[in-house]
Every structure is written in C-alpha cells, then in structure tokens.
C-alpha cells in the first residue's frame, strides 16, 4: 500500500497532569490523508484535536511518533502548511490587505510589490472582500470578515496542506453558511489538502470528503473514518435531499452522543490505533465492490 | 447660551476663567512697591529704594516673560544668556542621555522579554539599580568622567533607562502567542519576527515606557543642572535665585513646565501612531 500524502504514525502526546503524574491525550494514533482530500475531524472538547493540529502544523512536537508529508518528516512550521487559527491570528496593526500581503511576501520574497498586492486582492475577492473594506484594520471588521481574511491569507500562500482550527467557531449560522461555501469555492480547483477541526456536524458533512471521529480523552482515539458519499459540488440546501445525508448524519450523531464515551479511556497497549473506515452508501447497495477505493474527490468533474 | 457649546469649548472657557481669577487673586495679594519718587529721605538713605525681594505680582512675571521671549537667544557672557539658549542646553542633554538610554534599553528589553534566562539573570541587577535616585550617581559620575556636561548626560541616561527597559521587556513578553505562531508558520527568521511582529505588537507598551522616561529625564535635568552649574535651565533657576530675582525664577519655572508638556505631548502623538485595537 503506497504511503498517503500525509501520514501520522504512532503519534503519542502526554502532558504532565499537574499532580506529578502524566496525562495521555492520545496514544499511538495513526492515520493518513490523501493529496487533495478535505478531511474534517470531529470530537468532544478537550479530546486533543487542537493538539493534533498543532503537531501537524509543526508548532508543537508530539511526545513520540512522526508526521510525514510527501515522504518527509515534519519538523517545525513551514510555509507548505498554512494555518487558520480559531481567533486572533490576524495582526491587528495591519489592514486586511496588509495581513494578506504579509503572508505572500513571506512565501514569495522575490515578487514585486505590485504583484504581491494584486495576488492579495485576488484572494480577498474570492472570499467576498472587495473595495474599501480591505483597508480596514481587523478591529474594524466583523468576526466573519476577519475569518475571511484569515482564509484568504492562508490560501493566498498556496500551501500544500491547509490546517483550520474551528475557523467558524465564533460565527453565527448565517455567516458560517456563506463562508463555508466561499471556502469550498476557493478550495475547488486547487490540489490543496485540507485538515479542518469543527464542532459542527452539518458543516463537516458539507465540506469533507472524509470525517475522522475522535473518542473522548484522555487516551482518545481517532476511532472512525467516515466517508461522505455525497457527490460534489454540494450546497447546503441540496445535500439534505441526498439519500445518504441522514444516514451519515445519524451515524455521526450516534457516535458523538454515545459511542465516543463508550470507546473512551481505553489504553492501546502497543497497538497502532488506526481508524476503522466506515462507508455508508444507500445509493449503491446493489453492486458495490467493497475493497475498491471509492472515487470520492469529485470537485472538478 | 453655554449649553450649545461642546464639552471641549466649555472646559476651555472654564480654564481661562480659573487662570484669570487665579492671576487676579495673586496680583491683589502682593502689596505694591512704592515708586522711588514717593520715598522719604530717610527711606532712601536706609536702602529702601532697592527692589525688595518679595514674590512678584503676575504682571511683573508677564512683563519679564515678554522681555525674555522677545529675545530668547542672546548671549552676554557666562552668567547672562537668553532663556532659549538655556533651555536649548537642557534639551540637548536630555535628548542625548535619553537616546543613549533607548539604544541600550530597547534591545536589552527585547532580550529580557524574549528569554526567560536573560530575564532571570538580569533581574537582580535591575531590582537593585532601579530604586537608586539618579542624582546619587552624580558624585561618582563627576569623579570618573571628570566632566560636568557628560556627567549630567550620564545621570539622564541612568534615570531614563529603567522605564524603557522594563516596559520593553514587559511588552515583548506579553505579545500574544498566536501572533508569534503566525510568524512561525510563515517561516520568518528571528530578526524578521522581531521587527515585523513583536515590535509592532509591543510598540504601545514600549512607547508608554519611553513617555514615562522622557518625563523623568526632564524632572531630573533641572536638579542635575543645579548641581553641575554652567548652563541649562536648572542652572538658570539657581542663578536667578542667587540674584534674588524671583520674577525670573517664576518665569523659568513656568518655562520648565511648558517644555515638559511639549516633550510629553510629542510622545503622546507617537503613542497614538503605534496604538492598535484588538
Ligand atoms: N500545554 C498543555 N499542557 C497540559 N495539558 C494540555 C496542554 N495543551 C493541551 N492540554 C490538554 O490536552 C487535552 C487536549 O487539548 P486540546 O486543546 O487539543 O483539545 P481540543 O480537542 O482542541 O478541545 P476544543 O474542542 O475545546 O478546542 C486537554 O485535556 C488539555 O487539557
Ligand atoms: Mg481546540
């Protein structure tokens, strides 16, 4: 089996528990992400999602285990891995435009100032920010606009892997909906791989090719990898009519509501903790070949 | 009628009223001196004709101010220089000492703010040196440097270094981790991170420290110049006191206040320029 684009191998994270002992967030977690895939990770608060993301970003080191991207071990942050943090990731003394050019200048140091600015405006326009708003400071923007700027900054750098930590966590449902669709638009037509943390099941179904489900911590596991068997392009209103939608949604709700607790707290011994693949497809019950990899990535066709 | 004016205008009117009333009370409280012509023979012989040293009324101070400010840069020997020249000397000393201090304090503050070890290593020295009155250094400075001018500058250096150093360290240490992470994920080197992320993020705190420092430096220069003598506004005050010219003393006190205010407001402008809202 060929190695996936991003592979996480036997990753373990322990922290001191504050009483002289150690607390294991997760142990021997192993999973892979294919190139161009959009993967969401769902799990209860405190199970270790942000910890995983920080390790993937290279901002933190796991206690043990390795992360490999394109065959190379991840060590330290890199421009190949863009990050959208939940909050506060814009530099408040720079305008929206300058925040984006800040990133582009770091990525393409030999570009001319005009080219950098045009590129920045291009990406800001893709997330719906045009005209005078780009000259405003983050404090003068709404929460939704700020996250749009963060997304534009991350995508403008054209990283191979994009990591998003609950990017829409603080936004209202309406704004969320719009930005989710913008995010899909920006992502479509690139070969960028996206790894996104969310708390929102519907958001995950709309966006993801695959959803990773985590059990509760400590000793959390990435227990399942649920394929989203709904073709793209997707819109919020259409996916709910797809026969697979409620089946998948019920599965996720069941997991988060019940099984995440039941499966929690088990030590792994020495085993690799690989997620079990779950494929729910009511449209192809008749002639499915179970072992064939499903052609899920259907953005451009 | 006052009601339709803005708060600022009403406050300005109130300030002017207070000033005028204060000056009038002051003026009325000073008994007028008799003109020479009205003196009796006896009074003239016992020296009553010489100006008595008393607190002058504001009208005299204003006349003095008019006289001095209409020709601030005259130079008639070591003990008779225009107020502009004296203030010029003081500002020169303050700024020299101050910028030397900034040159040391800001980079050192960065180091202390960024590194736990540096913080812990420098902290005991800072804690001991900081509470020392800058004037206490004066004898030592005079002895070692052997130059009154340079000693005054050194005293300014010593007194302005602490607020800048501590505020820089505090500001740098308090920079939000997320912003530093933004720099890290963009692969910025340490120098680039310092200038494009940490410096602007900590700038408001740093400038606050600089503003406190310039205020202290201006307080200290007057005392320092009284000690070292020669030139400067502090020396001027002392010299006029020795001449028993209280009008000049009051005038120069006011000038010290005005210059201090101007220095402070310059930093106020800088502070507004680097401020940002989160
Ligand atoms: N620096 C640290 N030191 C000690 N424990 C930590 C540290 N960082 C995280 N933890 C612990 O690790 C666990 C996982 O934290 P993490 O932030 O990854 O959770 P999360 O899944 O992102 O939660 P949320 O959904 O609320 O953001 C938590 O129990 C937390 O207390
Ligand atoms: Mg988190």
Rounded Cα distance, B212 and B97, in Å: 14
Measured in angstroms, how far is the CA atom of residue A86 from the centroid of ligand 1? Answer: 14
> Among all ligands shown, which has an atom nearest to the Cα of A43?
1
Rounded Cα distance, B129 and B123, in Å: 10
Task: Look at residue A101 in the predicted model and tell me its pLDDT.
Answer: 96
Task: Look at residue B104 in the predicted model and tell me its pLDDT.
Answer: 97
C-beta of residue A49 within 8 angstroms of C-beta of residue A292: no
Rounded Cα distance, B221 and B225, in Å: 6
Residue B56 within any structural domain of the chain: no
C-beta of residue B185 within 8 angstroms of C-beta of residue A162: no
Task: Look at residue A17 in the predicted model and tell me its pLDDT.
Answer: 86
Rounded Cα distance, B104 and B185, in Å: 31
Residue B135 within any structural domain of the chain: yes
User: In a mutational test of the pocket of ligand 1, which residue from A12, A47, A214 has the highest number of ligand atoms less than 8 Å from its CB?
Assistant: A47
Per-residue buried b or exposed e for B233-268, using 16+ beta carbons within 10 Å of the residue's own CB = bbbbbbbbeeeebbbbbbbbeebbeebbeebeeebe
Q: Which residues contact A256 (CB under 8 A, 6 or more apart)?
A: A42, A43, A44, A201, A213
What would the mean pLDDT of B242-265 be, rounded to a whole number? 92
Coil vs helix vs strand at A161 = strand
CATH number at residue B224: 1.10.3720.10
Residue B71 within any structural domain of the chain: yes
Inter-chain residue contact B276 with A107, CB threshold 8 Å = no
Residue B22 within any structural domain of the chain: no
ipTM at complex level: 0.84
Q: Can you give the residue ranges of every domain in chain A?
A: 1-80+159-301, 90-158
> Which tens digit of pLDDT belongs to each residue from B178-232?
999 999 999 999 999 999 999 999 999 999 999 999 999 999 999 999 988 888 9
User: In a mutational test of the pocket of ligand 1, which residue from A51, A52, A222 has the highest number of ligand atoms less than 8 Å from its CB?
Assistant: A51
Instruction: Point out the residue among B181, B187, B196 whose CB comes nearest to the CB of A59.
Output: B181
Please give the tally of structural domains in chain B.
1
C-beta of residue B30 within 8 angstroms of C-beta of residue B54: yes
What would the mean pLDDT of B45-50 be, rounded to a whole number? 57
What would the mean pLDDT of B110-134 be, rounded to a whole number? 93
Choice between B102 and B78, residue whose per-residue pLDDT is larger? B102
Residue B10 within any structural domain of the chain: no
Task: Look at residue A188 in the predicted model and tell me its pLDDT.
Answer: 85
Rounded Cα distance, B127 and A164, in Å: 44
pTM of the model: 0.84
User: In chain A, how long is the greatest CA-to-CA distance?
Assistant: 59
Model confidence at B51, pLDDT cuts 50, 70, 90, reads low
Task: Look at residue B182 in the predicted model and tell me its pLDDT.
Answer: 93
Rounded Cα distance, B82 and B72, in Å: 5
> Which tens digit of pLDDT belongs to each residue from B144-167?
998 888 999 999 999 999 999 999
Measured in angstroms, how far is the CA atom of residue A45 from the centroid of ligand 2? Answer: 7
Burial label, B4 (beta-carbon count in 10 A; 0-12, 13-18, 19+): exposed
CATH of A1-80+159-301, one of 3.40.190.10, 3.40.50.300, 3.90.1150.220, 3.40.50.150: 3.40.50.300
Coil vs helix vs strand at A280 = coil
- What the block records as the tokens of A259 is 């099984």
Task: Look at residue A33 in the predicted model and tell me its pLDDT.
Answer: 93
Q: How far is CA B165 from the centre of its chain?
A: 18
Q: Kindly report the backbone phi and psi dihedral angles of residue B228, in degrees, each rounded to the nearest multiple of 5, phi listed first.
A: -85, -25
Residue B259 within any structural domain of the chain: yes
Beta-sheet pairing, A210-214 with A222-227: antiparallel
Instruction: Point out the residue among B182, B187, B277 whose CB comes nearest to the CB of A91.
Output: B182
Task: Output the ligand 1 site: residues, CB below 6 A.
Answer: A 15, 25, 43, 45-51, 217
**Per-run averaged pLDDT (10 residues), chain A, 301 residues:** 83 89 88 92 90 93 91 89 85 95 95 95 90 93 90 91 88 85 85 91 92 88 88 86 90 88 71 78 61 48 37
User: Residue A41: beta bridge partners?
Assistant: A197, A212
Rounded Cα distance, B204 and B167, in Å: 9
Task: Look at residue A299 in the predicted model and tell me its pLDDT.
Answer: 44
Nearest CA-CA partner of A185 in A234, A117, A115? A234
Q: What is the 3-state secondary structure (H, E, C) of chain B?
A: CHHHCCHHHHHHHHHHHHHHHHHHHHHHHCCCCCCHHHCCHHHHHCCCCCCCCCCCCHHHHHHHHHHHHHCCCCECCCCCECHHHHHHHHHHHHHHHHHHHHHHHHHHHHHHHHCHHHHHHHHHHHHHHCCCCHHHHHHHHHHHHCCHHHHHHHHHHHHHHHHHHHHHHHHHHCCCHHHHHHHHHCCCCHHHHHHHHHHHHHHHHHHHHHHHHHHHHHHHHHHHHHHHCCCCHHHHHHHHHHCCCHHHHHHHHHHHHHHHHHHHHHHHHHHHHHCCCC
Task: Look at residue A298 in the predicted model and tell me its pLDDT.
Answer: 44
Q: Which of B177, B178, B186 to substitute to test the interface with A, most A CBs within 10 Å?
A: B186
Q: Which domain holds residue B161?
A: 61-274
What is the rounded average pLDDT for all residues in chain B?
Answer: 89
The residue whose C-alpha atom lies closest to atom 5 belonging to ligand 1 is A15
């Amino acid at each position: 089996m060929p190695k996936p684009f991003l592979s996480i191998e036997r990753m373990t994270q322990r922290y001191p528990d504050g009483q002289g002992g150690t607390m294991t967030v997760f142990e021997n977690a192993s999973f892979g992400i294919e190139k161009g895939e959009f993967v969401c990770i769902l799990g209860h608060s405190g199970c270790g999602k942000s910890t995983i993301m920080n390790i993937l970003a290279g901002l933190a080191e796991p206690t043990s285990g390795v992360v490999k991207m394109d065959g190379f071990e991840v060590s330290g942050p890199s421009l190949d891995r863009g990050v959208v943090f939940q909050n506060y990731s814009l530099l408040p003394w720079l305008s929206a435009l300058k925040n984006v050019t800040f990133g582009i200048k770091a990525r393409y140091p030999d570009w001319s100032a005009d080219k950098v600015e045009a590129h920045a405006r291009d990406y800001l326009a893709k997330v719906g920010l045009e005209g005078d708003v780009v000259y405003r400071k983050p404090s003068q923007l709404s929460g939704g606009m700020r996250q749009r700027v963060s997304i534009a900054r991350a995508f403008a750098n054209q990283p191979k892997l994009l990591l998003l930590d609950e990017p829409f966590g603080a936004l209202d449902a309406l704004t969320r909906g719009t930005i989710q669709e913008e995010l899909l638009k920006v992502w479509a037509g690139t070969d960028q791989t996206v790894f996104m943390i969310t708390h929102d099941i519907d958001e995950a179904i709309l966006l993801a090719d695959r959803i990773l489900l985590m059990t509760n911590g400590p000793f959390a596991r990435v227990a399942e990898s649920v394929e989203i068997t709904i073709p793209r392009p997707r819109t919020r209103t259409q996916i709910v009519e797809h026969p697979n939608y409620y089946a998948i949604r019920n599965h996720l709700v069941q997991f988060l509501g019940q099984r995440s607790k039941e499966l929690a707290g088990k030590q792994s011994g020495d085993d690799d903790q690989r997620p079990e693949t779950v494929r729910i497809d009511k449209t192809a019950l008749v002639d499915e070949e179970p072992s064939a990899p499903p052609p899920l990535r259907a953005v451009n066709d | 009628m006052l009601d339709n004016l803005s708060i600022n205008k009403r406050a300005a009117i109130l300030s002017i009223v207070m000033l005028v009333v204060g000056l009038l009370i002051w003026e009325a409280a000073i008994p007028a001196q008799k003109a020479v012509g009205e003196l009796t023979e006896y009074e003239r012989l016992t020296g009553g004709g010489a100006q008595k040293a008393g607190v002058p009324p504001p009208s005299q101070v204003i006349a003095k101010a008019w006289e001095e400010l209409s020709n601030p840069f005259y130079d008639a020997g070591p003990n008779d220089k225009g107020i502009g020249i004296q203030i010029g000397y003081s500002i020169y000393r303050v700024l020299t000492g101050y910028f030397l201090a900034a040159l040391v304090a800001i980079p050192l503050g960065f180091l202390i703010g960024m590194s736990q070890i540096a913080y812990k290593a420098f902290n005991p020295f800072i804690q001991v040196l900081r509470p020392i009155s800058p004037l206490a250094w004066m004898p030592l400075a005079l002895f070692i440097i052997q130059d009154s001018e340079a000693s005054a500058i050194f005293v300014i250096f010593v007194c302005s270094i602490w607020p800048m150093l501590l505020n820089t360290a505090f500001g740098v240490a308090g920079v939000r981790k997320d912003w530093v992470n933004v720099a890290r994920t963009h692969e910025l080197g340490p120098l680039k991170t310092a200038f494009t992320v940490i410096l602007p993020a900590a700038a408001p705190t740093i400038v606050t420290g600089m503003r406190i420092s310039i205020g202290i430096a201006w307080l200290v220069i007057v005392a320092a110049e009284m000690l070292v003598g020669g030139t400067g506004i502090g020396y001027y005050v002392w010299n006029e006191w020795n001449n028993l010219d209280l009008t000049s003393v009051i005038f120069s006190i006011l000038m010290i206040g005005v210059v201090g205010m101007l220095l402070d407001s310059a930093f106020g402008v800088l502070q507004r320029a680097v401020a940002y809202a989160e």
